[in-house]
Amino acid sequence: MSVGEMLAATVPMARTLNLEFLETTPERAVVRLPDQADYHNHVGGPHAGAMFTLAESASGAIVIAAFGDQMHRAVPLAVKAEIGYKKLAMGVVTATATLGRPIADVVAELDAGQRPEFPVAIAIQRGDGAVTGEMTVVWTLRPNA
């Protein structure tokens, strides 16, 4: 089962929004939100909450892809998130997430008994390629007790 298939199967909100996990690697995750009238806002585009969930889901996908081999000893948790809506989003939107720190550095902190934090940057784009939003989610790997 791919990371995207696993997230779609285990995260109810991803299923609710019908998110499509197009790419999930340790270097990049790409997730698409189809154009669905049930999730539109007052101007006919995707609701801000749906776009937040899209971007957060892309960040979670890259975290699982990058640190899935550490799940036996730590659980990934989002610490904080900040989003900026830049342009009107209409139609299908896609979120592309990239890891903000080298995987080896994060694992080294975990090895040293620390609780590492690391940012994931996400760009949200509409079909014409325009960036409609940008989000940063700071994640941690909390060591298992």
3-state secondary structure of 8: helix
Confidence at 145, pLDDT banded by 50, 70, 90: confident
Pick the closest to residue 137 from 90, 94, 95, 86 (CA basis): 95
Taking only the tens place, the pLDDT of each residue in 96-132 is 999 999 999 999 999 999 999 999 999 999 999 999 9
Taking only the tens place, the pLDDT of each residue in 21-60 is 999 999 999 999 999 999 999 999 999 999 999 999 999 9
What angle, rounded to 10 degrees, do the helices at 48-67 and 3-10 form?
130
Taking only the tens place, the pLDDT of each residue in 56-94 is 999 999 999 999 999 999 999 999 999 999 999 999 999
The 10 Å CB-count burial string (b at 16+, else e) for 59-73 is: bbbbbbbbbeebeee
pLDDT of amino acid 16: 93
| Cross-sheet strand order for the sheet of 29-33 | 20-24, 29-33, 93-99, 117-126, 131-143, 74-85
3-state secondary structure of 13: helix
Amino acid identity at 108? A
